[in-house]
């Protein structure tokens, strides 16, 4: 199912980033603490740092993606959503691997492997979250742009 081009204000992208990262931290911190046998506080701080980097990236990337969509006029079908998810996550890999290596005192290769494991979670999460967010945003816009008239 494709969702037509919808102009989004920056405030909608701020909400998008906050929801995306908030849900991700709530899911990832306890799972990573358990998998890596580290304290929840230690991994909670790392996921919070990851989240801060990812939130800034999320805003920058999605504002640029929206601008590209306005310029080229494409719709967000499955192919575009897959491209969006891969590009978004690829940018994060470049930024987060060195942070993970430093924080966990591991090598870059180990940090890359950890990040690839996270990528296996975040690719479908990113795809699903963005699709659901767009559906919800479109429904909200439809409801607020065409208020029900009293009979």
Instruction: List the beta strands (DSSP E) in the chain.
Output: none
Specify the pLDDT at position 16: 87
Domain assignment of residue 140, yes or no: no
Q: Are the C-beta atoms of residues 97 and 34 closer than 8 Å to each other?
A: no
pLDDT of 146 strictly over 70: no
Report yes or no on 5 lying in a domain. no
Is residue 58 one of the residues assigned to a domain? yes
Q: Would you say residue 2 lies in a domain?
A: no
How confident is the model over 47-76, as pLDDT tens digits? 999 989 988 898 899 899 999 999 999 888
Q: Is the pLDDT of residue 129 over 90?
A: yes
User: In this predicted structure, what is the pLDDT of residue 151?
Assistant: 45
For residue 73, the 8-state DSSP code is -
Confirm whether 53 is domain-assigned: yes
Is-contact 71 3, C-beta < 8 A? no
For residue 123, is it within any domain? yes
Separation in Å, CA 89 to CA 7, 54, 57, 131: 23, 9, 10, 16
Query: In percent, how much of the chain has pLDDT > 70?
Result: 91
Q: Is 53 exposed, middle or buried (0-12, 13-18, 19+ CB in 10 A)?
A: middle
pLDDT in tens, 71-100: 999 888 999 989 998 899 889 889 999 999
Confidence of residue 108 (pLDDT cuts 50, 70, 90): very high
- Which one, of 50, 58, 61, lies nearest residue 111 by Cα? 50
Residue 147 domain flag: no
* Range(s) of the domain holding residue 117: 10-135
Residue 43 lies in a domain: yes
47-53: long-range pairs with CB below 8 Å, 24+: 49/99, 49/103, 50/96, 50/99, 50/100, 51/21, 51/22, 51/24, 51/25, 53/92, 53/95, 53/96, 53/99
Q: How many domains does the chain have?
A: 1
**Given this model, what pLDDT does residue 104 score?**
93
* Nearest-10 crossing angle of helices 40-72, 78-104: 150
């Amino acid at each position: 199912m494709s969702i037509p081009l919808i102009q989004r204000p920056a405030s909608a992208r701020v909400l998008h980033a906050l929801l995306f990262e908030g849900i991700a931290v709530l899911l990832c911190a306890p799972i990573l603490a358990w998998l890596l046998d580290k304290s929840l506080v230690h991994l909670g701080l790392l996921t919070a740092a990851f989240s801060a980097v990812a939130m800034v990236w999320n805003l920058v990337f999605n504002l640029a993606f929206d601008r590209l969509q306005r310029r080229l006029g494409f719709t967000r079908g499955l192919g575009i959503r897959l491209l969006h998810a891969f590009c978004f996550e690829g940018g994060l890999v470049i930024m987060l691997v060195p942070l993970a290596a430093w924080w966990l005192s591991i090598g870059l290769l180990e940090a890359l492997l950890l990040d690839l494991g996270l990528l296996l979670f975040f690719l479908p999460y990113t795809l699903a979250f963005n699709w659901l967010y767009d559906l919800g945003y479109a429904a909200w816009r439809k409801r607020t742009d065409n208020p029900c008239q009293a009979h």
